[in-house]
Chains A and B, each alone.
Chain A
Amino acid sequence: MSLNNLILITCRTINQGVALEGGKNTKENVRAAGICAFDSEDFKKLDCLVGTPVKVITDHGEVIVYSTISEEGPHPGIIFIPMGPWANQVVNPDSQACGTPTYKGMKAGVEVIQSGKVLDAVGLISLLKEA
């Protein structure tokens, strides 16, 4: 299943903070920041179990992350990825000439994937090196 016309927001979570201090190449970091939190009603439409990998697609890229239900809902139409390497695959790098990229408020679509897996931080970023 898939969802379109969502708005993607990225920001801090305490788990992501703990994980980034605790070691960026750990599994803990993937579980903390390699996730996408949905509004519970939106999540029902996806018709999958919590933890199923989903692909988040914006105009600026795509990334595979684990799905989860937001503790900070309800926020229908908004999806949320903690800041970090996963979120940065899909954020808008344009700063409108003010220096700061637009990390919040991208239009996004989500689809449940059949194949593919969530990479760890180092694996994900190192792809950029090889490319």
Chain B
Amino acid sequence: MAEIKLKLKKEYEFPLEADTITPDAFAGKSAADIKKLTVYHGNEEKTIGDFFDVTGEGGELNEIKIIVDGNLSNVKRIGEKMSGGEIIINDNVGMHVGNNMSGGKILVNGSADDWAGAMLKGGELEITGDAGHYVGAAYRGNWKGMQNGLIKVKGKIGDEALTWVNGSKPAKRFPTLICGAAGSFLGIHSHGGTIIVEGDCDRCIGADQVRGTIVVKGKVARILPSYKKLGEVEEIELMNGDIIKGKFTEYSGDHSVEKNHSKIDKKTGEISNSSNGRLFVAA
């Protein structure tokens, strides 16, 4: 195991964009080489060595474990596009942590700012505190957001998590979010995401959901009018085959969104919910 320790040694005035702090960039580099990697501070180009003490050495990608210490609350883009290895962040971290990552693991021992795990393609992001808005969301204008992987947030997340999430059963892609509580517009435009909320949710969850499963174990502020109540269930099968037990009220929707496999029979008005979006709220 190649362990590399980064410790913040200097206060930064402006957001520090450290998209080079990834196992991919550190692989095969010595501490001296790592210090030379670029970070952006305001409109200046600096190096990791200007802001961090670096100890250890990078080995093979999947063996690398990066530990980052210090006040990182405005250090952005740690773990961007990483494909393997592990990062442990021992503080609150700034925006875009682990965006576009496709493999490996990030553990944030603290809270994360907005866009944590945006457009995740694989791997695992765990946050022990809260997270900001747009957790695992699609970047502006993207029609395919998070495509695979797992995001776990112990605390509350902000608004619009997992927008345009895109999962697929045949392709075995199961993008999943597990969080303590959530803000509004959770899983908007979902195309096959799995979201499990241990606590309460704000309004408009599952808006424009085409496919996907949302499970809320607490209360929901307001369920959208376009959701149809189907009945009570005792057991939920998630897309990846996992089972959740408990008493839930099942809803189907969002019925306001046009689907190419329309589930409402125009003559009888009956709704089939076989592959439609599903919402479960604790009864």
Contacts and interface: CB of A to CB of B under 8 A. Distances in A.
Interface in A89-123: 96-97
Nearest to A95: B133
Contacts of B158: 96-97
A94 to B, nearest CB: 10
A125 to B, nearest CB: 26
B62 to A, nearest CB: 33
**Main SS of the interface on chain A?**
loop
A20 B187 CA distance: 42
A33 B159 CA distance: 32
Interface string B130-155: 00111000000000000000000000
Contacts of B134: 97
B160 interface: yes
B24 interface: no
Contacts of B115: 97
Interface in B94-116: 114-115
A97 B159 CA distance: 9
Nearest to B114: A97
Interface of B: 114-115, 132-134, 158-160, 183
Interface of A: 96-97
13 contacts: A96-B133, A96-B158, A96-B159, A96-B160, A96-B183, A97-B114, A97-B115, A97-B132, A97-B133, A97-B134, A97-B158, A97-B159, A97-B160
Given A96-B183, A97-B133, A97-B159, 10 more contacts: A96-B133, A96-B158, A96-B159, A96-B160, A97-B114, A97-B115, A97-B132, A97-B134, A97-B158, A97-B160
